[in-house]
Amino acid sequence: MYGIQDSAANPESTNNESNQLDNLRGEVDSIDDGILGLLARRREVARKIAAEKHRAERPFRDDLREEALLIERLSAAGKYELDADLVSRVWEQIMADSLRVQFDYVQNSVNGRKDAVIIAIQGVEGSNSHQAALALTPNMNERELVPCNRFGDAITAVKDGRANIAVLPIENTTSGAIAEVYDLLLDKKVSIVGEVKIHVKHCLVGVPGASIADLKTIHGHPQAVAQCSNFLAELPDVDVVYATDTALSARRIAEVNNPTVGAVANEEAARIYGLDVLESGINNRKSNYTRFVAIAAEPATVDPQVPAKTSLVLSVSNEPGSLAEVLNAFRAEDIPLVKLESRPTINNAWQEMFYMDFEGNVGDRRVQRVLEEVRRHTMYLRVLGTYPSRDLRPHRRPSPEPERVIQVSSPNPQPAEQTTADGPYRLAGRRDGETETVVDVNGVVIGGPELVIIAGPCAVESIDQVMKTAKAVKESGGKLLRGGCFKPRTSPYSFQGLGWEGLDMLAEAGRVYGLPIVTEVTAPEHVERMAEKADVLQIGTRNMQNFALLNEVGRANRPVLLKRGMSASIDEFLQAAEYILAGGNQRVILCERGIRTFETSSRNTLDVTAVPVLRRRSHLPVIVDPSHAAGDRELVAPLALAGAAIGAHGIMVEVHPDPDTAMSDGPQSLTLGAFDDLMQALSDRVL
Ligand code: PEP
Ligand code: MN
């Protein structure tokens, strides 16, 4: 309206005009303030509505009302001569905010409203992680920050109880998945309890009084610098100094306090460290979002009325089409998958771990049915957590519960309700029509029609002993090499095993003779390290009910050979297997190794009956260990033959090049020759 030229020509009119402009701006400011006040009041009312809906158990989303409301607003827009497009966009935002407020209200009443929270982040105050932490804890009066150097440190802070949650970035719309965080989620015993997406807007900041033209040096995180490369390329003669996070670079330049030194950081960091924003939004791509997750030691419960997302991590079985079966399970229940990411597994480079996010709540029956089906096609499955979804996508009316039967690959599919007994072993127990689980150990299939022989010394004693044994096992047709490195001995004075040194020897023998190795793990804190080298983790009879150990191997990505407790019933045995399956690990092999009876003529009594009973009750493979049942090498072959005859999927025996000098279980160990004889006797069933 007012040309610059005219104003310059007449100073008086310039004054009037600028007064006029100030007045108008003042008017706009007060209108805007009014809008904010109204939005805040609207939120308050929304909260009251939430309380009322929650009390009356009314649904939170009402499609028809939402639609009607929008139509009403649009027709009112005409009255004010407002653009319908503007009004519909503004109202979508307002209604989304209102829903979020309501969901937060319900969530707080579910998980217990807390006023203070300690949050671990990677980085310092003012970082994008800090902003995400604020956004994830909207109702907290007090937030204490635990700044950490590395992502893993933030998770450790949660596990040690020094923080309630860790807030970590998991993916960025420009740079993709943050692999390290995905790997940490797999490793650690933690759950995802929340998510938020943050718009990452980089700014060029400087100390007060600095100007872009004077800058000689710019500090910034390498990713942030890369995301602003176009803008930075326009600045001549400026050196870039890399920092470990954006807020840290802001802090540093505030400390240096030199107008020629700037940083790439966000507005919040500038505010915290008393810096000026010299240029805002300098990223190449304006739409640059990072998704953060909140991680806690325990899983969260999400109210069924709150839209939820669930994250899973799984590895599929080697059968062709397993991944397709997993995806089909979601389709069958009409549950939208919103993310599928894959990462190589840590100790099996050729095997992928899939991370999946879907819309749904683990408390929901339909989701549970999907998980039951998915479990059947996976070697490993763990729910990382259910949490309130921040994606208020256009609402889909929930489809009615499909009455359809879940497709299973067996010839006689049964309705899920009938097949999933809520009995003591939901996962280990056989469901009608279910196929057998086969456990694939580096190509050796346990649980199929053929008998698999596992053999080796009770304990690894020396490289020479284990090499000789491995050679004989291989030549006679054994498929896996066993050997104890950590020996759980009844007497503290007996040989306790060579420990990690023994594991290296066993692994070397296995490598040389092409035999996957089986060894016993006796302590939860050994599992992770053991799983790096052992192909199968054995749980011994004395540890069958060591629940901390069962939980730990349940999280491992290695098959587990679970021995029956010497005084355990079959029911207790299957419940122990249940622990491992519930931990995520689907590759469990059951081993009958003899139980305590009144009979003293053998070390234990081989419960041959257990084999068909286990096979009837469970889908898991069953093997027999005649050595520990017999305690006497003369009895090993007949018991092995009995095991094979009664339907075991495999036999595990102890062999030693010189049993008389064995440091443990010599009397029951077969000589290499006797082992070969046994293999001949079993030959019609051996692979
Ligand atoms: C073993 O297999 O080495 C062993 C110790 O067996 P168990 O746990 O059955 O006694
Ligand atoms: Mn033994």
DSSP code string of 438-469: -EEETTEEESSSSBEEEEE-SB---HHHHHHH
Whether 458 lines ligand 1, by a CB cut-off of 6 Å, is: yes
3-state helix, strand, coil in the chain (%, to 5): 40, 20, 35
CA of 665, closest atom in ligand 1: 3
> What single string gives the DSSP state of each residue in 211-249?
-GGG--EEEE-HHHHHHTHHHHHTSTT-EEEE-SSHHHH
**Ligand 2 center to 596 CA (angstroms):** 16
Q: Looking at 151, 292, 354, 486, which residue is catalytic? A: 292
Distance of CA 141 from the midpoint of ligand 2 (Å): 59
Nearest bound ligand to CA 593? 1
Question: 154 and 147 in contact (C-beta within 8 Å)?
Answer: no
Which atom of ligand 1 lies closest to the CA of 566?
9
pLDDT of residue 656: 98
563 lines ligand 1 (CB under 6 A): yes
Whose C-alpha lies nearest to ligand 1, atom 9?
Answer: 541
What ligand 1 atom has the least distance to the C-alpha of 543?
8
pLDDT of amino acid 273: 93
Judged by average pLDDT, the poorest of 197-211, 218-232, 317-331, 346-360 is 346-360
Query: pLDDT digits over 423-439, tens only?
Result: 678 899 987 767 889 99
- Ligand 1 atom at minimal distance to the Cα of residue 594: 9
Ligand 1 contact via 137 beta carbon (within 6 Å): no
Residue 377 Cβ contacting ligand 1 at under 6 Å: no
603 C-beta closer than 6 A to ligand 1 = no
Q: Token digits for 211?
A: 């100007």
* 134-167: pLDDT as tens digits: 888 877 778 899 999 899 999 999 988 899 999 9
Does the C-beta of 540 come closer than 6 Å to ligand 1? yes
Centre of ligand 2 to C-alpha 587, Å, is 23
* 644 CA to centre of ligand 2 in angstroms: 20
Q: What percent of the chain has pLDDT over 90?
A: 60
Over 90: is that where the pLDDT of 343 sits? no
Best mutation site among 566, 593, 665 for ligand 1 pocket (most ligand atoms within 8 Å of CB): 593
The contacts of residue 34 (CB under 8 Å, 6+ apart) are: none
- Residues 49-66: pLDDT tens digits? 888 887 777 776 677 787
Render 509-567 in DSSP notation, one character per residue.
HHHHHT--EEEE---GGGHHHHHHH-SEEEE-GGGTT-HHHHHHHHHSSS-EEEEPPTT
Position 410 confidence tier, pLDDT thresholds 50, 70, 90:
very low
Neighbours of ion ligand 2 (CB under 5 A): 458, 665
pLDDT tens digits for 431-464? 776 788 999 999 899 999 899 999 999 999 999 9
Q: What is the pLDDT of residue 194?
A: 93
Distances (CA, A) of 173 to 169, 176, 197, 264, 470: 11, 6, 10, 19, 51
Residues in a beta bridge with 315: 380
Closest ligand to residue 483's CA: 1
Is the confidence at residue 131, as pLDDT, over 80? Answer: yes
Ranking 238-252, 476-490, 565-579 by mean pLDDT, the lowest is 238-252
Tens of pLDDT, residue by residue over 163-212, are 999 999 999 887 788 888 988 988 667 999 999 999 889 999 999 999 99
Round the average pLDDT of the chain to a whole number and report it: 87
Pocket of ligand 1 contains residue 594 by CB under 6 Å: no
The number of the ligand nearest the C-alpha atom of 659 reads 2
Q: Which amino acid is at 422?
A: D
Q: In which order are the strands placed within the sheet that holds 352-359?
A: 337-344, 352-359, 308-316, 378-388
What's the confidence (pLDDT) of residue 7? 45
pLDDT band at 546 (very low <50, low <70, confident <90, very high): very high
The two tokens of residue 687 are 């692979």
Query: Is it the case that residue 41 has pLDDT exceeding 80?
Result: yes
Q: Which of 246, 290, 386, 420 is catalytic?
A: 290
Locate the ligand 1 atom nearest the alpha carbon of residue 541 and give its number: 8
Task: Tell me how far the alpha carbon of residue 628 lies from the centroid of ligand 1, in angstroms.
Answer: 7
Q: Which atom number of ligand 1 is nearest to the Cα of residue 564? A: 9
Say how far apart CA 370 and CA 372 lie, in whole Å. Answer: 5
Distance CA 515, CA 510 (A): 5
Is 103 a known active-site residue?
A: no
**How confident is the model over 503-513, as a mean pLDDT?**
97
**Centre of ligand 2 from the C-alpha of residue 496, in Å:** 11
Give residue 686's pLDDT. Answer: 61
- Looking at the chain, the number of H-run helices and the number of E-run strands are 23, 25
Distance CA 477, CA 455 (A): 10
Torsion angle of alpha carbons 226, 230, 234, 236, nearest 10°? Answer: 20
Whole-angstrom Cα distance, residue 532 to residue 347?
Answer: 6
Average pLDDT over residues 332-338: 93
106 phi and psi angles, rounded to 5 deg: -65, -45
Ligand with the closest atom to the CA of 487: 1
Tell me the CA distances in angstroms from 350 to 15, 268, 315, one per residue in order. Answer: 75, 43, 11
Separation between Cα atoms, residue 333 and residue 506, nearest integer Å = 46
Q: Which of residues 173 and 497 earns the better pLDDT score?
A: 497
137 counts as catalytic = no
The whole-number pLDDT of residue 412 equals 31
Provide mean pLDDT across the span 525-534: 94
What pLDDT sits at residue 89? 84
pLDDT at 661 over 60: yes
CA–centroid distance, 77 to ligand 2, in Å, is 83
Task: Read off the pLDDT band of 413 (50, 70, 90).
Answer: very low
Q: What size, in residues, is the chain?
A: 687
